[in-house]
Amino acid sequence: MLLLSLSFHEASHAWVAHRMGDDTGYLLGRVSLSPIPHIDPIGTLLFPVLGFFTGLPFIGWAKPVPVNPVHLRDVRKGHMLISLAGPGSNLLLAALFLVILKLLLVYADSSIGLLGSLAEPTFKLLQIGLLMNIALAIFNIIPIPPLDGHWVLYHLLPNHAAQVMDQIRPYGFLILYALMLTGVLQYFFLPAYVVVRYFLN
């Protein structure tokens, strides 16, 4: 589910970049749901495995899609739309999983009869996909480098504020991990999880 979600996220970045005039990601084969062109050895493999086996804060990412702003027809608009495409794709997947889950809940008896022993694991897998994609969307829209949200904010800020963001960009990953370790990051996700639980009841 993580590989699917990350692949869809990065493929969406590459597809929108292609539509906006930059075919860098497209030519690299990044407009693909196959996880192979998107895998980052550390972010897609090592960190998720460490989180799974050690209980450390779970974090994962795919190889970023390269964007050459020189090719964009409108740099500001293009960069913002490309950045929003990733979280937007995760929200789209989450909505799809939610609809399927609701259908399974509404037609529980018939679905269990249809799926047999696969009904419960299918339901759990869809739940994981729903929550994971909501988490990815929220996480990536946080305006801290190198997340997608920081590029959106960067292009909305006046020049002097954008320069400050340029200065903190090398430390963005440390800031994010500090937020995870201190538990602050969970407050970004709790409201969304409450809404999801409401819809699933």
Catalytic residue among 5, 10, 82, 151: 10
128 phi, psi to nearest 5 deg: -60, -45
Under 8 Å CB-to-CB from 162, ≥6 apart: which residues?
154, 155
Q: Do the Cβ atoms of 136 and 87 come closer than 8 Å? A: yes
Listed residue (24, 31, 22) closest to 81, CA to CA: 22
What is the C-alpha to C-alpha distance for residues 22 and 160, in angstroms, rounded to an integer?
28
Residue 98 in tokens: 């939610």
What is the C-alpha to C-alpha distance for residues 46 and 40, in angstroms, rounded to an integer?
9
Task: Clarify whether 10 is annotated catalytic.
Answer: yes
What is the C-alpha to C-alpha distance for residues 73 and 96, in angstroms, rounded to an integer?
32
Active site residues: 10
